[in-house]
Structure 1
Amino acid sequence: MSVIAAATPVWAASEDRPRPATAPAGTVETRYCMWMAATTGTLIEHVQCWTRDHWARQGVDVDKDWPKEGVRTEG
């Protein structure tokens, strides 16, 4: 229980920061890391990092989904 209590202020502080309206600009090689829904049989969500092109092939609009699901960029 003490681990959860100690982590709560950090989590709460990160939620207070304003989220960008669209994904940050990047190059063709930039990977956008976003939360993915849990797969069948599990409740655990995970973060996936793909390029804009790869996200588009999966039917995801990075700019539209970034404010809610975006975590970080790489590259």
Structure 2
Amino acid sequence: MEIIKKSVITCPECGYEKEETMPTDACQYFYRCDNCKSILKSKEGDCCVFCSYGSVKCPPVQQKKSCC
């Protein structure tokens, strides 16, 4: 299975979208929107901001491994 390393994060506050490269060896718990400067946190039950707001889940979840 090929791991997708890019994901488009959509800010829930302003709707701004930006493609980001996901870390493959760590979870990213916070993300700052470049447009409105809001600090995004992962939703309860999600391991990281990519799983909460990204177009693609993080690499560990893609591999069906436990995330962080």
Bin of the TM-score, shorter chain as denominator length: 0.3 to 0.5
Q: When the two structures are superposed, what TM-score results if normalisation uses the length of structure 2? A: 0.33
| Bigger helix fraction | 1
Structure ranking higher on relative contact order (CA contacts 8 Å, 6+ apart): 1
